[in-house]
Structure 1
Amino acid sequence: MTYLDDLAAAKRARRAWGCPCGADNPPHYDACHDCQRPSWTCASCGTVNSDAWSQCQECDNTIPGEVLGDRDEGFEMTYEEFVALQVGPRRVGGRYDHGYADSEYEVLAIDRGPREQWPTWQITVRGKDGQVREHCTGWDPRKDRIVDQAPADVTIVSVGRLHDDGEGEYADVLQRATIALDLRHHFRDPHVRADLRQLTAHDRVVRDTVMDTPGVRQVLAATALQVQGYLAGPTAAPLTVVTQCAGGRHRAAATAMALCAVLTGDVEQAATYGLADAAKEFTDRRLSVDLVHRDLDKDVVDR
């Protein structure tokens, strides 16, 4: 069929999508016929929209179907995952921009819900005009941008002490650490195994080897309790937790990943590290956690 035939059939079915350039397109076109502007498919109603629109023109949904996968193959999204997509990287105290003129705003509060009434989640912002507004507009990575990100509640940094002479933002992180875990002397280094030496914590076998080391899980569970204690203080400020090993590719990185799963309350992910019970303590905290690997991807240090 030709474009005109496809378009006529789409219009009869009322499924054509309009592009800002003025052209109409059949629903299966992933780009405008006239200007080649890409499109996205709404995960809720299946309407195809130009990427000029951050919300579906049919149902106001803001999640592209591509994010969820193939509906015919089946996909599941928990409420928490849905809200996480909607909120995006926004944090209380941060400043962001919708991508339009004078659309910069500061986030004052985020209510992730679920709320009994609509909207089920809500964000409170203050615009450049000083007006405070409440809405549930989802984050659109194609348009929205971070102007000034608020610090995370907890920043976890994995480091290799053999790289302490390096430069960069985290070169002096140990001097700024609230909690520092030194794993070098008490836990066997996977580097000594020839089959693990060139691998990193990106590899499951390395993570399993580190986590199966006697004592590691107990140390991480205790560290999570330390974090709770610090955050309960009357002047609780953003915390920095540093995990240390020799090269930064195995022990420090794996334990940092595990601790991140615990502190974000991701019970399913924490269970892969044997720390599901520790993560349950954080499911309602909804902490913002940044995970940084200073030396994970650096070359192996011969020693």
Structure 2
Amino acid sequence: MTYETDLAAAKRARRAWGCPCGADNPPHYDSCHDCQRPSWTCANCGTVNSDAWSQCQECENSIPSELLGDRDEGFEMTWEEFVALQVGPRRVGGRYDHGYADSEYEVLAIDRGPREGWPSWQITVRGRDGEKREHCTGWDSRRDRVVAQPSADVTIVSIGRLHDAAEGEYADVLTRATIALDLRPFRDPHIRADLRQLTAHDQVVRETVMNTPGVRLLLAATALQIQGYLGGPAVASMTVVTQCAGGRHRSATAAMALRSVVSGDIEQAAMYGLADSAKAFTGRGLAVNLVHRDLERDVVER
């Protein structure tokens, strides 16, 4: 088939993508027919976009589908992690601002999906005008800001002790931790050259950490500790800190695993071998906040 017939079929299906040069292209073209500008496919809604646009022209997502990998080969990023990036720090009951005039809003509900059809995940908000709206606009740290966060039942923070001197909201988190979990005695993925530049967002890192002897037992025991504190006489919000050296591998993976357990997400917890631990939290509806203090910092050579 020629470009013209391909394009005509794409336009009939409303799947053609436009390039800033003015040319329209069929969705299976990975570069513009006229100017050869590359394209990228949105991981959220499947729309093909010119690489001149950093956000999807359909849903404003900024993550390309390549970052999720192929379902048959295994995700580079799990669905939950992808949606977590899209939702950002937003939580039900919190107030946030888009960065535009009079754009403050309250989050009423978050449906993390995956949902049949589009949108594949959805957030429900109420603006200052009192109107409720549903959309799947991803969080953009360059524009969006937190106005007020609701208190979480459990906040899980991963840190790297080599970054303790850094400033920020969680610089002193160890001093206010209810539970402080130290994973530094366990094998460090940093010693493997093929893992050093990766993080817990990569499946191979998560698998390496969780397959380290003793890690699953430790996290299952930590889940029991959390149950104990939540069931104690002075039930209040608690902070769980996971520690390692750089904060990119062991502590971040452990924090992700604990979040899935405490959220009562049995399917997600099963990916970490902790489904049984998660069963104790199902139906509790705990508000769980996950923070990676040092995950995105540069690798510390050591």
Q: Establish whether TM, by shorter chain, passes 0.5.
A: yes
Q: Which amino acid counterpart does residue 133 of structure 1 have in structure 2?
A: E
Check the 8 A contact 1:159/1:253 in 2, yes or no.
Answer: yes
Q: Which amino acid counterpart does residue 11 of structure 1 have in structure 2?
A: A
Which residue pairs with 1:6 in the alignment? 3
Rounded to whole Å, the distance in 1 between the matches of 2:228 and 2:248 is: 25
Q: Which amino acid counterpart does residue 191 of structure 2 have in structure 1?
A: Q
Counterparts in 2 of 1:107 and 1:75: CA distance versus 1, 3 Å: farther
Residue from 131, 134, 154 that aligns with 1:133: 131
Matches within 5 A, 1:125-274: 125-127=125-127, 130-140=128-138, 145-148=143-146, 150=149, 153=152, 154-159=154-159, 166-169=165-168, 170-177=170-177, 179-181=178-180, 183=182, 189-190=185-186, 198=191, 202=205, 204-211=207-214, 216-226=218-228, 228-229=230-231, 233=235, 236-237=236-237, 239-243=238-242, 255-274=254-273
Give the 3-state SS of the residue equivalent to 2:222 in structure 1: helix
Give the 3-state SS of the residue equivalent to 2:155 in structure 1: strand
RMSD value, Cα: 5.3
Rounded to whole Å, the distance in 2 between the matches of 1:122 and 1:168 is: 34
Check the 8 A contact 2:42/2:62 in 1, yes or no.
Answer: no
Rounded to whole Å, the distance in 1 between the matches of 2:24 and 2:4 is: 6
Give the 3-state SS of the residue equivalent to 2:258 in structure 1: helix
1:35-84, CA deviations, whole angstroms, 9 ceiling, x for partnerless residues?
A: 9484646977x76566576437xxxx99976576669x6999xxx86994
CA shift, 1:223, in A, is 2.6
CA shift, 1:174, in A, is 1.9
CA shift, 1:171, in A, is 3.4
- The number of residue pairs the alignment matches comes to 270
Gaps of 5+ in 2: none
CA shift, 1:109, in A, is 0.7
Residue from 55, 58, 61 that aligns with 2:58: 55
CA shift, 1:147, in A, is 1.8
Check the 8 A contact 1:85/1:139 in 2, yes or no.
Answer: no
Gaps of 5+ in 1: none
Counterparts in 2 of 1:40 and 1:103: CA distance versus 1, 3 Å: farther
CA shift, 1:137, in A, is 1.2
TM-score relative to the length of structure 1: 0.59
Rounded to whole Å, the distance in 2 between the matches of 1:22 and 1:247 is: 44
Check the 8 A contact 1:196/1:206 in 2, yes or no.
Answer: yes
